[in-house]
Amino acid sequence: MSGKKGAKTVETAVKLTPITESQKEFISRIEKEAGTSIHLCYQCGKCTAGCPAAFAMDYPPRKIIRLLQLGMVDTAINAESIWLCASCETCTARCPKGVNIASLMDAMRRAALKQGKITDKKIAAFNKGFLSGVKNFGRTYEAGLTLQYNLSTGQLFKDMALGLPMMNRGKVSIFPERIKGRDEVKKIFEKVQQLGGEE
């Protein structure tokens, strides 16, 4: 590397400040929820090498863990990559140090949602639509979910070309299926919310 380039690297390098108490507390809460420790990670990159969505990520799994190791909580929680994780569990299965990375990404996604830092609105809208069907009927209502998702993301005609062929094949239930224990399911949602969770 030339001297000039080296100097530039220093200029753009991360300026580390001591980790604050609230950052420390956040990280240990995430670790507890995920049932894993970020300090086991020695940055080999195997998780990222095998991640099928890494090509689209701003901070792939290895970097998310590095950010947390360095206490850079804000950067990590605003990363789009925590929303692009498909929960395929490949990283976790392959980590030589036994870090449960998929569970960590999951916990980060939930923390971001709680703090309202939703970098990928479409994925969050999909999840919200999905769960509102479950809350109301006890089961997923695919047709309703598609409609609600399209409305909430302003993509009115998304996948419209697939709608009719789906119907012709008997793959669309016109009405949602409602279970008898709807109230039980609704109660589950309410109790979870009382405990501090989000819907």
Partner 1 sequence: MKFAYYPGCSADSSGVEYGMSMVRTAEILGIELFELDDWNCCGATSAHSTDKMLSLALPARNLAIAEKQGMDMLAPCAACYSRHRNVEYVIEHDPDMKHRIEEIIDKKLEGSTQTVSILDVLANKIGPATIASKVTQPLTGMKAACYYGCLLVRPVEYTGYDDPEDPQTMDEVMKALGADVLDWSHKVECCGAAMVTSRPDVGNRMLYHVLQGAKESGAECIVTACPLCMLNLDMRQAAVEKEYHTKFNLPIYYVTELLAFACGDAPETVGINKHFVDAIPYLNEVKKRAAEAEAQARAQQDKKETVTEDPELLQKKINSMIKAFEKGPDKMAGRLLDDESRASVLAEIISNDEKKRNKLAELMVSDKDKAVKVADAFVTGELKKRNE
* Residues engaged in binding partner 1 (CB under 8 A): 33, 52-53, 55-56, 84, 86-90, 92-93, 102, 106-107, 109-110, 113, 120, 122-123, 125-128, 130-131, 133-134, 138-140, 142-143, 149, 159, 162, 165-166, 169-173, 177, 179-181, 184-185, 187-189, 191-192, 195, 197-199
- Which CB sits closer to partner 1, 20 or 184? 184
Residue type, 141: Y
The two counts, helices (H) then strands (E), for the chain are 12, 0
Of 6 and 98, nearer to partner 1 (C-beta) is 98
Q: Give me the sign of the Cα torsion angle 138, 115, 120, 58.
A: negative
- Given a contact cutoff of 8 angstroms between Cβ atoms, the answer to whether 110 and 73 are in contact is no
What is each CA distance from 160 to 81, 101, 142, 166, 167, in whole angstroms?
28, 36, 14, 10, 11
| Residue closer to partner 1 (CB basis): 8 or 187 | 187
CB of 2 to partner 1, least distance (A): 36
For partner 1, the closer CB: 66 or 94: 94
